[in-house]
Structure 1
Amino acid sequence: MEQARTYGEIWRAGARRLAEVSGDENEAEASAELLLLHLLGIGKAELLRDLREPVPEALRERWASLLARRAAGEPVQYITGEQYFYGRRFAVAPAVLIPRPETELLAEAVLAAAAEIFERRGGRPLGAVSGRAGGQSPEPAAQEDGGESAAAIRGETALRVLDVGTGSGALAVTLKLERPGWDVTASDLSPAALAVAAGNATALDAQVRFVQGDLLAPFLPGGGHAGERIDVLVSNPPYIPSGDLPDLQPEVREHEPHLALDGGPDGLAPYRRMAAQLGQLAAMPNLVAWEVGIHQAEQAADLLRQTSRWDEIRLIRDYAGIDRHVLALRFS
């Protein structure tokens, strides 16, 4: 067979090779595209423009290495070192889970619920919930009497948010960039994960504070941040039942960190611990928002009901119609 000579030819040949391994032609095509864009350091428009251009010999060995890693099951995101979340580029590494599209829905739900809570409490609205802004912050609220908006002063500036188990920092950084006035803290048990998250905050110019610790422990009596007020608690903790780990897709099981996957015997261990810890905080948050695994939403909601009296508990479905997020709201 004649050796592939152009960018278009190596793209197609690479996709065929990956499809032979995975059996999924669409996924193989997408993976080959992402790897080639990463190799060349260009966008898709430039790639389409240059499809007939010859491939320099100096790139062929690197291309073969990238394909071999993907064919062996390594996730594309770890190979390229990046994943987009809410329209922004986040660095990822084997120390953190790869951000998933369904977690973007959790960010949207938190933005909407926080605005609703503080509006019902008699404060000014926090502003319309923006879509994936691609790095653009929402427009400020209309000014009154020529001064700064009351919403920015009494609403956004006062709101304190904690993202527990932040991983790559995708949730914490996104919430901070979408609501610049919010005071956002992100915690994680893994120092390596915190290093990745802090790097993303710096790269995206998001002023997020990072705390190392196990779930809510740093914010309980005896912890270094005991007594701090938390208005919004958001978390996407490990939720895979321990017995299910061997059955995960190989690229997840063999490459993503088990510390961020293993949720104990039934996948609910982190939620039980957080629910028990809530009552030890200086005050109960006005909003608790969790991402959960399949068939876990009702059980997680019951844990919150047993912890405190909430005005409303909501279940949010993901793109597959699965109850994926649990929100507990307090309006007073």
Structure 2
Amino acid sequence: MSEKDGFNPLTIGATLRLGADSLRQAGVEEADADAELLLLYLLGMSKADLLMDWREPMPEQKRGAWTEMLARKAAGEPVQYIIGEQYFYGRRFEVSAAVLIPRPETELLAEAVLAIGDRLWPSGTGATGPVVLDVGTGSGALAVTLAAERPEWRVMASDLSPDALVMARRNAETLGVAERVTFVQGDLLTPFMAATDGGADAYPPIDILVSNPPYIPSADIPGLQREVRAHEPHLALDGGEDGLNPYRAMAQQLQSLRAVPRVVAWEVGAGQAEDAAALLREVADWSDIRFVKDYAGIDRHVMAVRE
């Protein structure tokens, strides 16, 4: 039936409202926001474009893809996996079910590391920038961001998952820093330890260690939001019985590196900051150990510094 026959094609605005309603009925908590993100991606437009084209007809050729996207979201799949991207520190990162979705609070960790790095290794002095290691790099969000923000820094990124490293490398290439980031497969600090074959000689001493490791207590995994529990990689979520296993392991391994880093910066779970700091105090005499709060006022990052 044509418009002459009285058919009124569904507008973009109506399409969005109906899509949000269907997600709400499926139990999606962020139905309006998720539907908007999906539609903006599908139509390749900005929010401003959406408002201007609100009464325009929904493109017929996009209806099938829209229905499929809504079905995936209704089944609990994160929007970021459906569209294959997430922005971090102003840059677009490719993501998939192989990696944890970068969170806004981790941007605060990047900011804190950049600030302390600038203080300890000021640019313009002719001194060599620090060697930074991002442990458990996942999508490469932290490592790539630090390399992009500070071209004079030498960055390494490690992960136990080969699939995660493939994606991290791809993001580094897309964002133009692949030549300045070294990717290493291995469990936490094991590849860099003196006891590892070639470990002490294959890589330079680490000045800044940054990590956002798995920190969810195992018993808490079943109670996580459906999108996280059912779709994000448990390897990047499960921190053991109390969520502190990765921190214990890294604290022990620090003493087996060529030298203890001058800065250790960890993202931690709610209520874990004091315990993580205690682990670091057993390793070295730090000039300062402080916490960085996230947007909810939770002590989310532990920063240990040796002046």
Same fold (TM over 0.5): yes
Partner of 1:95 in structure 2? 98
Partner of 1:5 in structure 2? 10
Q: 2:45 aligned to 18, 37, 42, which one?
A: 42
- Separation in 2 of the partners of 1:303 and 1:219? 20
Q: 1:18 aligned to 1, 13, 23, which one?
A: 23
Q: CA deviation at 1:321?
A: 0.7
Partner of 1:225 in structure 2? 199
Q: 1:274 aligned to 250, 253, 268, which one?
A: 250
| Equivalent pair of 2:20/2:31 in contact (CA under 8 Å) | yes
CA-to-aligned-CA distance 1:69-105 (integer Å, 9 cap, x gap): 1111100000000000011110000000000000000
| Equivalent pair of 1:185/1:208 in contact (CA under 8 Å) | yes
Counterpart residue identity of residue 267, structure 1: G
What count of residue pairs does the alignment treat as equivalent? 296
- Separation in 1 of the partners of 2:207 and 2:9? 57
Partner of 1:201 in structure 2? 172
Whether 2:78 is the aligned partner of 1:75: answer yes
Whether 2:287 is the aligned partner of 1:326: answer no
The residue correspondences of 1:132-147 to structure 2 (distance < 5 A) are none
Change (3 A) 1:322 1:185: same
Q: CA deviation at 1:23?
A: 6.1
Change (3 A) 1:220 1:80: same
CA RMSD between the two structures: 1.5
- Separation in 1 of the partners of 2:296 and 2:56? 40
Counterpart residue identity of residue 259, structure 1: L
Partner of 1:180 in structure 2? 151
Counterpart residue identity of residue 286, structure 1: R
Q: 5+ residue gaps in structure 1?
A: 119-124, 127-148
Q: CA deviation at 1:45?
A: 2.2
Counterpart residue identity of residue 226, structure 1: A
CA-to-aligned-CA distance 1:153-194 (integer Å, 9 cap, x gap): 31xx43100000000000001111111100000000000000
Q: Which moved more, 1:79-88 or 1:53-62?
A: 53-62
Q: 2:224 aligned to 248, 254, 259, which one?
A: 248
- Separation in 2 of the partners of 1:4 and 1:54? 6
CA-to-aligned-CA distance 1:250-282 (integer Å, 9 cap, x gap): 110000000000101110000000000000100
Partner of 1:290 in structure 2? 266
Whether 2:275 is the aligned partner of 1:299: answer yes
Counterpart residue identity of residue 84, structure 2: G
| Equivalent pair of 1:5/1:55 in contact (CA under 8 Å) | yes
Whether 2:215 is the aligned partner of 1:239: answer yes
Partner of 1:121 in structure 2? none
Q: Which moved more, 1:256-265 or 1:51-60?
A: 51-60
Q: 5+ residue gaps in structure 2?
A: 1-6
Change (3 A) 1:4 1:217: farther
SS at match of 2:221: helix
Q: CA deviation at 1:55?
A: 1.8
CA-to-aligned-CA distance 1:120-153 (integer Å, 9 cap, x gap): xxxxx24xxxxxxxxxxxxxxxxxxxxxx43xx3
Partner of 1:213 in structure 2? 186
Whether 2:118 is the aligned partner of 1:115: answer yes
| Equivalent pair of 2:85/2:95 in contact (CA under 8 Å) | yes
Partner of 1:122 in structure 2? none
- Separation in 1 of the partners of 2:198 and 2:222? 37
